[in-house]
A and B are shown apart, each in its own frame.
Chain A
Amino acid sequence: MIKTQNLTKTYGKGEGKVTALGGVDITIKDGEMVAIIGKSGSGKSTLLNLLGGLDKATEGKVFYNDTDLSTLNDTKLSEFRLKNIGFVFQFFDLIPELTAEENVLFPAKLAKKKETAESDLYTALDITERVKHYPSEMSGGQQQRAAIARALINDPDVILCDEPTGNLDKASGEAVMSLLKKLNKEPHKTVIIVTHDRDIASQCTRIIELSDGRLT
């Protein structure tokens, strides 16, 4: 279960202060598939970053079950991210110097995991043939699937996606969505998707809408 308490994020100081997120309280149960929607600048990406520990909240807290993310130091937080959260970004963000396979296996190696199910992942994601390639040699869809594989390699409970289909054509986007749905259904992963696309949001079990940094 993921819970936030009065989650607030502001940038700047004084008169120029911009509130990206203003006191958000949400609870996401295990195994839910939640879409966070809102217009550009509504604070949805900020919320996702805070949920994933990629950024520190100005105020408020994020709880994973009983763990308060704000109490973790960088090493602990990193370890938490490594083992419990999988990230999928809009721009895939694979490390360009590593092949797809190396990208996928990197978190596993960091976590010192001996046995990984990477070949199953490749098959499921249909990228078996491309894993020896560098990101620059792959299409957007392939890159995103590799990024998903990377997010899943440590078998995290929560998958956070920031506009996962934003940079993909329709077919690839649909494929990615159905994959995420499958993950939610079968091993009951908690999936949180930030999107501005209502179609995608409608495929989720719950929709959280943000406007000007607040829930609506």
Chain B
Amino acid sequence: MEKAEINRLVSQAQNGERKALEKLWSEFSEKVYFFVRRCVCDDEAAHDITSETFITAIEKITDLRSGESFVGWLYSIAYHKCTRYLKKRSRLVCIESDEELSEAAENASLNEPIMLPDDYAVNEDIRTRLMQVIESLPSDMRSAVILYYYDDLTAAEVAGAMSITKNNVYQKLHRARQKIKKQIEKLSGKGTLFAAAPLSAVLANLENAGLLSGAAVGTVAAVGAAAVGVPVTLSRLSGGTAKTLLGFTLKYWSRHKKSLAALLFSGVLLCALLCNALLTLRQEFARNIDEMYSQDGHYEFITRSDNKELIDLFTGEDTVTGKMNVLGMMGIGNLKYEYGTLDDPEDLAHIPLESGRMPQKKGEIAIDRQVLKNYGYFGKVGDEITLDKGTYTLVGIINDDWYYEHTYASYGRRPGSKLVEDENKEGNYWIEDKSQFDVAYHIPLMFVSDEENEKPVYSLVMMDKIKGFNQPKKVYVYDEDYIDDWGLFKYLEENGYSAEEFSQYGDYIRNHTQDAYSRFNGQFREQIYKKVLIYGAAIIIAILSVIAVMRNIFSERENTMSMLRRIGMSKRRARVMLTIEYIFLAALQTLIGFAVGSAVHMGIYAYQVNVLEKSALSGFSHNEYDRLLCPEPFLWSGLIAAGVLLLGYVFAALMQRSRVPKLKRRKAGSVRRCFAKIFRNRAVTVIQTVSLTLIIFGTVFGYMLLRPTIGSFNPNTGEFEKYLDTKFGDSHSMTNLFDFEQENVKEYYSGYRKITSSEDPNITLPMLIDMGEDSGIDDDTADKLGESFCRGVLPQTLINSPNTELPSPVQWESQEVREYNYKMSTDKGKKFLDQNNSLYRCKTSLADIATIEKLADYVTDGEINADKIMSGEEMIYVYSHITPKFKAGDEITVVSTTTTNGFGIDDVHEVKVKIGALVERTDKMDNMLRYSTSTGDDYNLLTTATGAKKLGLHSAAYTEIIAREEIGDRLPMQTGLNVKSLEKQKHDIFVQNATLYGSLALLVFVMSLLGFAAYFNGIGMKIRSKEYQISIMRAIGTPLKKLRRRLMFDSVRIPVFAAAISYGLINITQRVMLCAHDKFEAIERGLAEKTMQFYQQYPDGITPDDAYYAFYEGYNATERHAQKLQSYFLADDQMWFNNVLIPTLIVFAVICMVTIMLTRKSVGGFGSNIAYSISKGRKRR
């Protein structure tokens, strides 16, 4: 607007012309507002002061002598109003500290505007001159001005940056202002129209035009930035504009440290969780493949020849990493095992070693533990072993943990074994050499050092490519049914290979690959799915928490942002600022998240390796396949975390847009309803409820998942100590349970070592081959030992009961195995099997009578009669969800079978016994028996050693002996004796417990962290956001007590809902799973019966055996399904129906307590100064 125009308008206004006033208002109101806003830093006040300024101006305009001075005059009114406002504010309530007061005072004088030519903002010439004015200032003054006005530092910060006192800063600033003022007046001469502008605005303006850049600002800013701890590089990199924004951002976050912490915390947690989850997944994957390798070796091709051409043809492009040569058979007597060599013994197939190493020098041997056991040998690395090939030094014992698990599963034809066609059945083949059935191991169980001049019987070619593993290659066999993909047959024919030979290889390759794949898949899925569930829940909560926190931050920032917009920051700039900020935060979160996630993972790994002692099975794999098959944890967790942050950002922005509250026309008739209406915050409530539900559900679910799989020993009940006390008369507390040093338990077989080991080189150990009938200690020895030492399991017990339906006959995995076992049996055994096709196979547990008597609490039917048990008249029947049910008093036939070599039935001993009492298997009950047996979960009959002896059960095999004292040489070495000291037992339990409680603690920790981020944050947020309303209610006369009670009730409602929902969800899951379990079982059972009926309808050409097999197969499938369901869907009544309520209640109680505490604390923040709270709340709105 021209000067003349203003003059005209002013004089018109003085004459009372309304229109002129309006024009002046529209011309200057924004300018004045902008100026005032800079002075008072408060939107509302700025609006008020601007209005007041104009009201005063209009009232007093007649006093103005000339229109010339209107602009200056208007600004001086505004300025006076501002100072009055600041003074008043400092007098009243806004001053919280001395510092703020002095700051306000300082602002008042130092932020007094200076008068500049009105058009300085657009006039390039004036701006250049202004620039010169600033540059002409002495350097110390210039620095102070730029740091203070331009970089927005406080006087104290400037003082720090320039190493001078605060007063000095004021002085310099004051003088600089005087100088600038004078210079400007000199420059512009008379007749210039002046406008008032805060110096900071002037500088910002100059900077916008690109004038205030380079040396002047750069150096000073760098000094300042370094001094106040801002990374110099950052401020330099981001250039001029960004610097203001950076300063602003830093200021904002330094004032909202709590919000920043919450945002970082939730993001870090999310990223850490993701990173950890993916790392765990990768490790699990690698471990499963490792395990599979251990079991089978990773080979895809077997040949007896060394023909390179052929090997190349089979392996194609895959990398061959090594070769395992099977050299031949050796052993003692009729127990022979294949032996071989590895060309990369340490690593190739991840052979799990219990101790020692693989052989390297001539004359060394590594043997599987089970093979050693079969020879009756319990020695250790360093011993000498004489086999038919010569004497070897034992350098390594191969872990046999997997052996029990996979004996039957992997039982099958060994590679290279010759087939003989069955005389009776065309197309049915038998393995010629039965000894090849001895061990169900695809790779040799004995490894010797590379023997010279030994031609391999066959070689296993190892390939390191797991990729494509799940798609078995088409096989190359001479058979019309198979497709000859590579034209191999032709090649073979041309090169003189026999078709039969390749048919064998092809078959083997196909079966092996598919078997291994399905085994791997099954194992992997079973182990991983529970983890995925828990991690999934945790990650969902983390995502919710990030979004909740971001939403919170957005509403907090809204005011600041709108203020920025009003003082002229463009939308684009605001957006750029926020984007840079969030990218930076996301990067920070991701980095810290990586660190935390991998640290936790490494911690768990170290725990697994060092505490669980399963390094061979738990390590990070150094092989390529894990990287090929699993998502890269760091990349994906970073990406997902960034994605979620972005999502949270968009979500929060959208929520912000639609934040106009929807008011519902619902009548609030009572105080309670009024409260409800006032405190309604649906978005937060939903987030809180969902995350809490997930927390409770996840915690309880995780608890339930971990409990049955890891063990059920509960140290809190004190049962264990009591048990030990009564058992051994000593006081055993948990502490010395875990302290193995104190126990000083000697292995009872230590006496035996004296004559066996390398400790005494004069004595060589004869390999004991005692395959006699007794596979336990003899009864005389048992008598000498006394009751308390004699416990364990009788492995081959069968129950026969014509009156009760038994779910499963003798369990052998496949028809082939069953046939083989049948053939391996003696005539007596065969006859027995022919006569009985409904036998339930289980184990019989032996415990001492004192332990058995303690089970009285768990008896569900009948009663425990010690005398009858000891006399062999009765036995205890232990049942669980899937075992056949009997009644107390039922008479059953217990069949004890023996075998010489582990296959078939040699001798049968049948005895009738009454079921004295029925005991339901519960965790507690298991605890009672823990030190009596370590039978796992498949025993059903329970009696004492004496009782078993009286019953004449075969050899009353006391296969586990636990002793606290050295027994010396009283125990004869026997085949199949499983030595386990109390110490070892304790250690095992320690590991189990440590795993259980460690995982639980970790889970609860993670969950509570997440809860803290998402849920607890919401409580404070809800209350803070209603500060205004709360203050009004207080003013009207609502007591704090009532408010607190009300809010607590409100807060606690969410945990109540969440707990109820979780409990319901878990219950529904249980019921659905149980239903599914029963349904599946019924279907499978029906199928089995139908199949049998089908066979029975067509008796021609179908033997009773066929029908039996069909029936058996069906039942077997049923059993497998039941077990699968049990582990996949948790359909086990023991854990489901006993354990859900209590953990839910515990988690609920804890959350309630914290909720109440937090609510109390948040409400406690409302002090006695209600008036202040109202005005603060009003401002916030």
Contact = CB atoms under 8 A, between A and B. Distances in A.
Contact of A54 (B95, B667, B1039, B1170): B1170
A102 B95 CA distance: 35
A203 interface: no
A55 B99 CA distance: 23
A106 interface: yes
Interface string A112-148: 0000000000000000000010101000000000000
A40 B88 contact: yes
Contacts of B678: 95, 97-98
B1038 interface: yes
Given A12-B97, A18-B90, A82-B1037, A110 B1174 contact: no
Given A46-B92, A75-B1041, A109-B670, A55 B1171 contact: yes
B98 A87 contact: no
A95 B1032 contact: yes
Interface in A61-118: 74-75, 78-83, 85, 87, 89, 91, 93-99, 102, 106-107, 109-111
Given A98-B668, A98-B678, A107 B1037 contact: yes
B1172 A95 contact: no
B671 interface: yes
Contacts, number: 126
A45 B94 CA distance: 14
Interface string A1-29: 00000000001111110101000000000
Contact of A16 (B85, B102, B1041, B1170): B102
A89 B708 CA distance: 65
A155 B1040 CA distance: 22
B1036 A54 contact: no
A188 interface: no
Interface in A34-48: 40-41, 43, 45-46
A49 interface: yes
A110 B84 CA distance: 40
Contact of A98 (B674, B1035, B1170): B674
Contact of A74 (B88, B1036, B1039, B1172): B1039
Nearest to A93: B1032
Interface residues of A, number: 48
B1178 interface: yes
A12 B95 contact: yes
A87 B1039 CA distance: 16
B1169 A55 contact: yes
A56 B1032 contact: no
A109 B1037 contact: no
Nearest to A14: B98
A110 B101 CA distance: 39
B993 to A, nearest CB: 51
Contacts of A150: 1036
A95 B1037 contact: no
A95 B98 contact: no
Contacts of A11: 91-93, 95
B92 A45 contact: yes
Contact of B1170 (A13, A55, A134): A55
Q: Which one of A45, A83, A93, A136 has the greatest number of beta carbons of chain B within 10 Å? A: A93
Interface in B647-679: 661, 663, 665, 667-668, 670-671, 674, 677-678
Given A56-B1168, A109-B671, A83 B1040 contact: no
Contact of B1174 (A41, A89, A96, A154): A89
B821 interface: no
A110 B1178 contact: no
A16 B98 contact: yes
B1036 A110 contact: yes
B532 interface: no
A14 B84 CA distance: 23
A43 B88 CA distance: 9
Contacts of B90: 18
Q: Which one of B92, B97, B99, B1040 has the greatest number of beta carbons of chain A within 10 Å? A: B92
A81 B98 contact: no
Contacts of A107: 1036-1037
Contacts of B667: 102
A95 B1171 contact: no
B1027 to A, nearest CB: 12
A179 to B, nearest CB: 19
B91 A41 contact: yes
B23 interface: no
Given A16-B102, A93-B1032, A97-B680, A79 B1037 contact: yes
Interface in B1007-1056: 1029, 1032-1042
A87 B1036 contact: yes
A133 to B, nearest CB: 10
Contacts of A45: 92, 1171
Contact of A41 (B87, B668, B1029): B87
Contact of B91 (A18, A75, A82): A18
A111 B671 CA distance: 10
Contact of B1039 (A43, A78, A96): A78
Contact of B1041 (A15, A56, A74): A74
A49 B1040 CA distance: 17
B1035 A106 contact: no
B663 A78 contact: no
Contact of B677 (A80, A83, A98): A98
A81 B1169 contact: no
Contacts of B680: 97
Contact of A49 (B1038, B1039, B1171): B1171
Contacts of A12: 95, 97-98, 101
Given A15-B98, A45-B1171, A56-B1169, A91 B88 contact: no
A75 B1037 CA distance: 9
A101 to B, nearest CB: 9
Given A55-B1172, A93-B1178, A41 B1036 contact: no
A55 B1170 CA distance: 6
B668 to A, nearest CB: 5
Contacts of B84: 40-41
Nearest to A11: B95
A91 to B, nearest CB: 6
B1178 A81 contact: no
B1038 A78 contact: yes
A78 B95 CA distance: 26
A110 B1038 contact: yes
Contacts of A54: 1035, 1169-1171
B766 to A, nearest CB: 91
Nearest to A86: B1036
Contacts of A96: 661, 1029, 1181
B660 to A, nearest CB: 9
Contacts of B1172: 55
B50 to A, nearest CB: 16
Given A82-B1036, A87-B1036, A97 B663 contact: yes
Nearest to B1036: A107
Contacts of A85: 1037
B95 A106 contact: no
Nearest to A52: B1035
Contacts of B1032: 93-95
Given A20-B92, A55-B1168, A13 B1039 contact: no
B1040 A78 contact: yes
A89 B663 CA distance: 24
A123 B47 CA distance: 35
15 contacts: A11-B91, A11-B93, A12-B98, A18-B91, A56-B1168, A85-B1037, A93-B1035, A95-B1033, A97-B661, A97-B680, A99-B668, A106-B1033, A109-B670, A109-B674, A111-B1037
Given A75-B1040, A97-B661, 4 more contacts: A91-B1178, A93-B1035, A97-B678, A102-B668
Interface of A: 11-16, 18, 20, 40-41, 43, 45-46, 49, 52, 54-56, 74-75, 78-83, 85, 87, 89, 91, 93-99, 102, 106-107, 109-111, 132, 134, 136, 150, 154
